[in-house]
Structure formats: C-alpha cells, structure tokens
C-alpha cells in the first residue's frame, strides 16, 4: 500500500489538471482556486441556464453553483453574437469600402467584441492560446475540454 502511494505515475495522474475526476480540482495550484473560474464536473452537469434542477442540489449552495454557469453561457452567447455582427459588417464593407456609417458601426462593434472576449477570458478562462493571461499556470489546459462543456 505504501508503494502505491509513492508511485510516481499515480501522483502525476492526480496532479494533472485536465483530468475530469472531481478531486483533481482540489489539487490545482492556488492561483486556480477561484470558484468562479473552474467548475467541477458535478456543477457543470447542471442543466440549461434556466432549469431549476441539477444533480447536486444542496440547498445552501444552489444559487451559488447555478449562477456562475449561467453567466458563462450568457457571456459566450454574447461573444457569438458580436462575432457574427463583425462578420456581417465586414462583408458589407468589402463592397462598400467608403461607407461612413458602416465604418463607424464596425469600430463600435469591434470594441464591444474585444471587451466581451476580454471579460470572458478574465473570468472563465482563455478562449484561445493567444490570450492566456495566467502567469503562474498554463490555464489553457485547466478549463474544460470542448467535449466536456454542457450544451
């Protein structure tokens, strides 16, 4: 038994942050212990943002657990919408390069889009490898894999 505990392979597996085992989230570095950033698998398996039921329904933690997941989806949806608007505006500007209204609208939406991406990256983890801001830990592997995200 002592040999198993000191097994280096077993220790490395527990410390690997990308693993979906819930106890691994307790072992991540201190800088990642912010509850609003990382959601253990039981919390992520909460249903859609407006649903009232989840699998982990301790009354005291109900609102605290549901709110971060809902805000994350709303922020991501906002990014999708603004990104789509930027694409549409860019397509219009391709054929109307001197349209002043379109240019002003593009500048306004660009600012909103980058603000939304920055907000999401600061609160929920990086969206791509170009914007990993955590200096102590490569948070890119700490956020859920695409196949682990609900909905």
Partner 1 sequence: MDYMNKKRPQQVVGMAYVPWQNWGELYEPAKALQCGTLFAVLNKPFIGCRCDRKR
List residues binding partner 1 (CB under 8 A): 78, 80-82, 84-85, 88-89, 92, 95-96, 98-99, 101-102, 105
For partner 1, give the closer residue by CB, 84 or 119.
Answer: 84
For partner 1, give the closer residue by CB, 62 or 112.
Answer: 112
For partner 1, give the closer residue by CB, 80 or 138.
Answer: 80
Please name the residues in contact with 149: beta carbons below 8 A apart, sequence gap of 6 or more: 44
Measured between alpha carbons, how far is 114 from 119 in angstroms, rounded to an integer? 8
For partner 1, give the closer residue by CB, 81 or 148.
Answer: 81
Smallest separation, CB 99 to partner 1 (Å): 5
Smallest separation, CB 116 to partner 1 (Å): 10
Please name the residues in contact with 143: beta carbons below 8 A apart, sequence gap of 6 or more: 37, 38, 124, 125, 126
**47 by DSSP, 3-state: which?**
coil
Smallest separation, CB 112 to partner 1 (Å): 9
Q: Report long-range pairs for 18-21 (Cβ below 8 Å, ≥24 apart).
A: 18/141, 18/142, 18/145, 20/148
């Amino acid at each position: 038994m002592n040999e198993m505990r000191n097994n280096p392979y077993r220790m490395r597996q527990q410390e690997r942050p990308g693993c979906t085992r819930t106890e691994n989230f307790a072992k991540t570095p201190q800088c990642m212990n912010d509850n609003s950033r990382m959601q253990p698998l039981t919390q992520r398996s909460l249903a859609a943002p407006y649903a009232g039921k989840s699998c982990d329904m301790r009354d005291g933690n109900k609102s605290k657990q549901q709110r971060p997941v809902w805000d994350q989806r709303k922020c991501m949806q906002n990014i999708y919408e603004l990104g789509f608007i930027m694409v549409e505006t860019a397509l219009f500007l391709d054929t109307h390069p001197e349209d002043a209204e379109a240019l002003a609208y593009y500048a306004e939406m660009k600012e909103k889009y980058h603000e939304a991406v920055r907000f999401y990256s600061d609160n929920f983890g990086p969206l791509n490898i170009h914007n990993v801001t955590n200096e102590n830990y490569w948070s890119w592997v700490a956020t859920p894999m695409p196949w682990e995200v609900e909905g």
